[in-house]
């Protein structure tokens, strides 16, 4: 089991290394997803922690797969907004074909990614047969979902033991320290 740390009580130090899970990254780089009082309350400690990391010179990392997960989250959000605004049940594939909406989605993803790599280093991430085998092993032993399986492996290979996440999935992984505000 991972060790869990409350980020509202812990301060990063210079030289510490943190992997940022997409569950946190999305609140920082796509504020529309943090609308509403509860979501803002949830996002605020992560924004402060990332700001503290930058201030003290702690290192932050993401994966190239973070882009894929972030893109899916942003597209899903924009699709729901579109359907709600147009009282529509437009399917995702149809939504992607609407040029004006596609531009909004692509611009939002590009802006979010540009912002993410402005404060976090993108680690090289080789997703090969060995990575798949490792992911399947983690799947049997933990509660991680698809992307998180690869992120946990990446942290292990990069010798990063600190992960900032907004969900409890990583708490089932040995040798990780999970920094969170959710208190799982």
Average pLDDT, integer, range 121-127? 93
- CA–chain centroid gap for 83, Å, is 25
Confidence (pLDDT) at 99: 97
Of 1 and 127, which is predicted with more confidence?
127
CA distance 72 to 77: 9
Q: At what angle do helices 22-29 and 37-56 cross, to 10 degrees?
A: 100
Question: What is the per-residue DSSP string for the chain?
Answer: --EEEETTT----TT-EEEE-HHHHHHHH-GGGG-SHHHHHHHHHHHHHHHHHHHHT-EEEE-HHHHHHHHHHHHHHHHHHHHHHTT----HHHHHT-HHHHHHHHHHHHHHHHHHHHHSEE-----SHHHHHHHHHHHHHS---HHHHHHHHHHHHTT--EEE-SSSGGGGSTT-EEEESS--
Per-residue pLDDT averaged across 106-118, rounded? 95
Residues 85, 125: Cα–Cα separation, whole Å: 38
Reported as a pLDDT band with limits 50, 70 and 90, residue 184 is low
The domains of the chain are located at: 3-180
Does 36 or 62 have the greater pLDDT score?
62
Mean pLDDT (whole number) for 122-145: 93
pLDDT value at 40 more than 90: no
- Please tell me the predicted confidence (pLDDT) of residue 76: 93
Fold of 3-180: Rossmann fold (3.40.50)
How many percent of the chain have pLDDT more than 90?
76
Q: Span 167-182, mean pLDDT?
A: 89
């Amino acid at each position: 089991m991972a060790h869990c740390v409350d980020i509202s009580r812990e301060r990063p130090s210079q030289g510490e290394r943190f992997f940022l899970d997409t569950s946190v990254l999305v609140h920082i780089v796509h504020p529309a997803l943090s609308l509403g009082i509860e979501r803002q309350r949830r996002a605020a400690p992560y924004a402060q922690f990332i700001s503290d990391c930058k201030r003290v010179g702690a290192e932050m990392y993401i994966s190239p797969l973070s882009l894929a997960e972030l893109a899916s989250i942003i597209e899903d959000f924009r699709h729901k907004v579109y359907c709600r605004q147009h009282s529509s049940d437009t399917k995702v594939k149809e939504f992607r074909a609407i040029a004006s909406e596609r531009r909004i989605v692509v611009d939002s993803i590009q802006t979010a990614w540009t912002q993410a790599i402005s404060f976090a280093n993108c680690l090289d991430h080789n997703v090969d047969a060995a990575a798949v085998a490792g992911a399947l092993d983690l799947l049997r032993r933990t509660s991680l979902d698809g992307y998180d399986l690869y992120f946990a492996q990446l942290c292990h290979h990069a010798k990063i033991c600190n992960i900032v996440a907004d969900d409890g999935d990583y708490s089932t992984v040995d040798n990780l320290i999970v920094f969170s505000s959710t208190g799982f």
